[in-house]
Amino acid sequence: MSELPRHNLPAEPNRFVGRERDVGDLRRLMGETRVVTLCGVGGIGKTRLAVRVAAGLLPSYPGGVWLAELAGVGRPELVERELAGVLGVRDEAGRPLLDTVVARLRGQPCLLLLDNCEHLVERCAEVVAALIAACPPLNVMATSREPLRIASELVWRVPPLELPPVTGRPDAESVRLFLDRAAAAGTRLGPGSMPDVARLCRALDGLPLAIELAAARTSLLSPGQIADRVDDRFALLTTGGRTAPARQRTLLRAVEWSHDLLSAKEQVLLRRLAVFAGAFDLDLAEQVCAEPPISEAEIVDLLGGLVDKSLVLCDEGRARYWLLETIKRYAAGRLDTAGEREILRERHLGALCELQEHHFATELVEPGVPWEGRLEALTTSRILADDQRVALGWAAESGNPALGLRLCAAGTALLPVGGNPSEIVAWTERLLALDLSEVPGGRIARAEACLAYGLEARDELDRSLEVAGRSLARLPPGDVFTRCAVHSVMAVVLLRMGRPDEALPHAQECLALATRSGDAWNQAAGLAGLSAVALTRGRLREAERHGEEALARAREHGHRWIMARTAAQLGSVAEARGDLVTARSRYELAVPWLRELGDDLELARCLARIGRVAAMSREFGVARERLAASRALAGAAGQRQDMARCLAGLSVLAECEGDLAGAVLAAAAAATLRASIGRYPATTRIEELLGRARARLGEGRTTSLWSRGRAMHPDDAARHVLESELLAAGTPVVTGPVRHSLLTAREQEVAGLLTRGLSNRAIAEELVISPATVARHIANIMEKLGYTSRAQIAVWAAEHPRASA
């Protein structure tokens, strides 16, 4: 007699990819817990994971492992009938069918797998509770969009597949699944496709159904083409298998299945949550989404329902919530269809203004706030960065510069602690270009103050000074904090431009205003400015006195950014005094504060200073490490001033290590960068360096090295010192005579301009010719002189100034 089957699990239709840890965790849980419900959004892979786990548990259940597929069961009263059919028991007259099912399951240990309970969740909960109570050997695993909510249940949220880093990693779960399913579709993808595959998997949130549907498209489109079209994912991802359940054949059907199970008010809230670009909390959801037919008091329960139904995700403490991108795009479509987009966008913009103003005041303006409170305000403000971008975009799109500029001033006045200067410049300029006839002058002035700060941080010194002057002229007298901040920016800009006499009154006014108002932040900023002015003038005692007072006021305020800035200023004073030990300790004091704040720009500057001092102290390993880190941060941020500071430090390191040629190259590259941002390139140290180089290397070679450094890319100059490279043999210093008459007068002009490191476009603007003509002249010069690079021409022109004059 043949043995009866011990399970009805289907064979896997294709290879099971990833989730090794999930499978192991769930198998262990089934040995400890009687009811486990796998919850997750549609397409997350609940069924496939549950079947995989159940198949591995067959030896543990002598009574069998039985799968009941409930997706096709339309009415609650049919749940018991489906179970009876799966277990092979028949209805008996006069006996409830559930009792018959209980009798079948009371014997040996069994595992019952209930798949897709969400549309019958209340009846499924009743049945499972009854079975568990009556059948001690029974374990139940269920899959559902939402929990059963019975006493014996453990809810296990099915996570998306592991995402790769931006560069792509073939062993990430989502990438492995995509590659496997693409291969099944007949597409073999090589390493060159990995960045696009990674981009696509990240855009699809690691959602298995979406990834499988995307992989099926590789028979027609490359991963890059699919990723470029993924914004229209519901129209694109429509190629599911013909034998798959209808809800799994397209991404749209999968999401609609979940949406249609929501109550009417849950559907309203879900579509309104699409206005949020990033994570949000309950308070923000209540501020933005409470609009008839939903009241503010209902939001908490409705949001909880959406979390339970796996359409909204949350952290463990339910402090912050977010939507998967696929759900968000579906909800956004529903928002447009409902005609609510404009009103929700306006509410979102207004709420962001209020929140960011509150965070700004807490972090910088209000006295007596402990550091933990200031840091929390900064952190929360940063979490809202994506939402701020969306809100600013709406302000520009809808022509609302008043609220847009208000948000610029509030949400980006936090620039001193690691904001993005280019972004604030772009947003503020875009909004200031709108019709400002109904915008109060004070609001415009505050936005211009932020713009001035962004321009200074972006090295646009002339424009920063101009915008700051306009802001100061129209700021209302009562806005003391902003007035102090503008004076501080102007002092910084003027010092960077080498104009300390003009910077002095701005630093003094900043300090005077801040002292009268009791503003410790700007007192510290004003004193730091006075210290910098005194240092520029060589008044070291005065500079130290102001610097010590600045640090004291900064500690009084408690914000670690202004503490770091004033500590670094004291480091500069000690360095000028020749006290390298104190200088290093002051600079190092700022590093952990800046790391905690995530302010990479200021950290790059501080690390460059530490590297320079360490080099002068002959601690070359420390110097190289700090300067390499500074270079990486400055390069990632694209900040010319920070890269120039790093190159200056590398010049000191090279000379201290005996590489005088490398020191000249790095100093020249730094001078070019400084000149490009309007800062005076000549310093006492450079003149002294060139003097030592001329004495040891000769006038001609020093001039050639300087010219070559001026033409070098900053990365190449930095690499030369950090990697101790020798000058490339392919670009020799030219020392032999060249017949000047070989070049035309215009070619000589072009050659001379190459010594300044100008691009073709810059040369064209200088000579009022086209860039194509410049390129033709350079090609002619190379042919006539026998050279192969612009650097060789620049070296030759520097050594023959009369020929290129």
pLDDT tens column, 70-110: 888 888 888 888 888 888 888 777 678 888 888 888 878 99
Q: Whole-angstrom Cα distance, residue 118 to residue 71? A: 9
| Reported confidence tier of residue 288, pLDDT bands at 50, 70, 90 | very high
Judged against a pLDDT cut of 50, whether residue 732 lies above it is answered with no
Whether residue 802 has pLDDT greater than 60 = no
Nearest CA to 482 out of 465, 496, 493, 468 is that of 468
Q: Could you tell me the pLDDT band of residue 728, with boundaries at 50, 70 and 90? A: very low
The pLDDT assigned to 790 comes to 74
Residue 804 pLDDT grade (very low, low, confident, very high; cuts 50, 70, 90): very low
- Residue 310's region, left for phi above 0, alpha for psi from -120 to 50, else beta, is left
Mean pLDDT of 741-767: 75
Position 53 scores a pLDDT of: 93
Provide, rounded to the nearest whole percent, the portion of the chain with pLDDT above 90. 40
Judge contact between 418 and 598, C-beta under 8 A.
Answer: yes
Q: What is the pLDDT of residues 394-423, one digit of tens each?
A: 999 999 999 999 998 887 545 556 567 778
- Residue 531's pLDDT is 96
Q: Which range, of 124-133, 493-502, 733-742, 792-801, averages the lowest pLDDT?
A: 733-742
Other Cβ atoms within 10 Å of 154 Cβ, number = 13
Which tokens in the block code for residue 119?
Answer: 């549309």
pLDDT at 805: 42
pLDDT at position 548 is 96
**pLDDT (average), residues 226-249:** 67
Residue 731's pLDDT is what?
Answer: 35
pLDDT of residue 770: 74
Per-residue model confidence (pLDDT) at position 733: 36
C-alpha 326/C-alpha 336 separation (Å) is 16
pLDDT score of 186 more than 90: no
Arithmetic mean of pLDDT, 150-168: 84
> In the prediction, which pLDDT does 507 show?
96
Mean local confidence (pLDDT), 208-221: 83
Task: Pick 660 or 231 by higher pLDDT.
Answer: 660
% of the chain residues with pLDDT over 70: 90
Of 432, 525, 506, 512, which Cα lies nearest the Cα of 480?
A: 512
Reply yes or no on whether the pLDDT at 800 is more than 70. no
Give the pLDDT confidence of 300-331 residue by residue, as tens digits: 999 988 988 888 888 876 688 988 888 888 89
* Separation of CA 158 from chain center: 26
Buried b / exposed e along 347-368 (16+ C-beta atoms within 10 A): bbbbbbbebbbebbebbbeeee
Is residue 726 exposed (0-12), middle (13-18) or buried (19+ Cβ within 10 Å)?
exposed
Alpha-carbon gap, residue 408 to 421, rounded angstroms: 12
Which contacts (CB < 8 Å, 24+ apart) does range 462-465 have?
Answer: 462/678, 464/489, 464/493, 465/490, 465/493, 465/494, 465/497
| Cα 673 to Cα 643: distance, rounded to the nearest angstrom | 8
Q: What is the pLDDT of residue 211?
A: 85
Which parts of 126-247 are beta strand (E)?
A: 138-144, 153-157
Q: Is the pLDDT of residue 191 over 50?
A: yes
The pLDDT of residue 316 is 72
Q: Give the sign of the dihedral formed by CA 681, CA 687, CA 689, CA 690.
A: positive
Most confident of 362-366, 394-398, 727-731, 733-737: 394-398
CA dihedral over 573, 576, 577, 583, signed as positive or negative = positive
Of residues 800 and 473, the one with the higher pLDDT is 473
Look at residue 456 and tell me whether its pLDDT is greater than 60. yes
261, 320 Cβ separation under 8 angstroms: no
Give 669-698 pLDDT, tens digit per residue: 888 888 776 655 445 677 788 888 888 888
| Lowest-confidence segment of 255-269, 304-318, 588-602 by average pLDDT | 304-318
pLDDT tens sequence across 530-556: 999 999 888 999 999 999 999 999 999
**Token match 């799109």: residue?**
397
What is the predicted pLDDT for the residue at 512? Answer: 96
**pLDDT range class, residue 228, cuts 50, 70, 90:** confident
Average pLDDT along the chain: 85
Summarize the confidence of residues 253-261 as an average pLDDT. Answer: 81
pLDDT category at 502 given cuts 50, 70, 90 is very high
